[in-house]
Amino acid sequence: MMGMPIAVEIADKTPAKSAIEKVFSYFSYIDEKFSTYKDTSEIMKINRGELGEMEYSEDMKTVFALSEETKKQTDGYFDIRTPSGPYDPSGLVKGWAIYNASKMLLADGFKNFYIDAGGDIQVYGLNAEGRAWSVGIRNPFNQKEIVKVLSVRDEGVATSGTYVRGQHIYNPKNAKMSIREVVSMTVVGRNIYEADRFATAAFAMGEAGIAYIEKLSGFEGYLIHANGMATMTSGFKKYIRTDA
């Protein structure tokens, strides 16, 4: 769904089948509205000029407003308009949708769960073993290997990179230049919406992105360079599991 694997686990003892079905129904709705691969989606109709701003749905208006806000907050390093002209809000929509889905589960009374969509994750509470949730950071040079295991609860973890989908992230300030010096940027934040949008912008900044995350209050980051070396923010170590 949404062009990626999606997993939901609820660790509460309360029956959760209907709640999980509701979450997947929501993701299906998001896919139909924002997919840049479906000709029938609202965003594709906008890109073809078939819908004017007055005809945008409320969710579309929200995403455009949040995207503009993020563009300003990142000094222009986040932009949903692609170099070729069309809009592609996927760098924000995924985290936003995951966070909205998590709020649905919270509203239903669940306290311990995680939602993972394409490697971007929102967790709450504890896992089935009564421990903080474990989130792995993949080695971009060997995706079967985990280079770090994080211990998180009530937070979001997002990773942006080019090692799976190739050069799909661009620097809006120099769209013709591929981002080659970095391959992966992982950000931990208070929720997945915040972590996802800032991870995307920080990756677009290249090696300067980790310094940007360092300055953001409430966020920590882990950058893997193209030479295999890693740089982390000053507070990132608190998330690293030492018993993994």
Domain boundaries, the chain: 6-239
pLDDT(157) > 70: yes
pLDDT at 173: 63
Of the two residues 23 and 175, the one the predictor is more confident about is 23
Strand partners, 120: 117
pLDDT band of residue 167 (cuts 50, 70, 90) is very low
pLDDT at 72: 97
Model pTM score: 0.93
pLDDT(185) > 90: yes
Percent of the chain with pLDDT over 90: 84
Average pLDDT for residues 175-197, to the nearest whole number? 89
Residue with tokens 């992105």: 209
pLDDT at 180: 80
C-alpha to C-alpha distance for 192 and 194, rounded to whole angstroms: 5
Q: In a 10 Å sphere around its CB, with 0-12 CB exposed, 13-18 middle and 19+ buried, how is residue 213 labelled?
A: buried
CA-wise closest residue to 171 among 231, 85, 87, 83 = 83
Average pLDDT for residues 208-233, to the nearest whole number? 97
pLDDT(239) > 50: yes
pLDDT(99) > 70: yes
pLDDT band of residue 170 (cuts 50, 70, 90) is low
pLDDT at 16: 84
Please tell me the CATH code under which domain 6-239 is placed. 3.10.520.10
Average pLDDT across the chain, whole number: 92
CA-wise closest residue to 135 among 241, 24, 57, 17 = 241
pLDDT(152) > 50: yes
Average pLDDT for residues 79-102, to the nearest whole number? 94
pLDDT(165) > 80: no
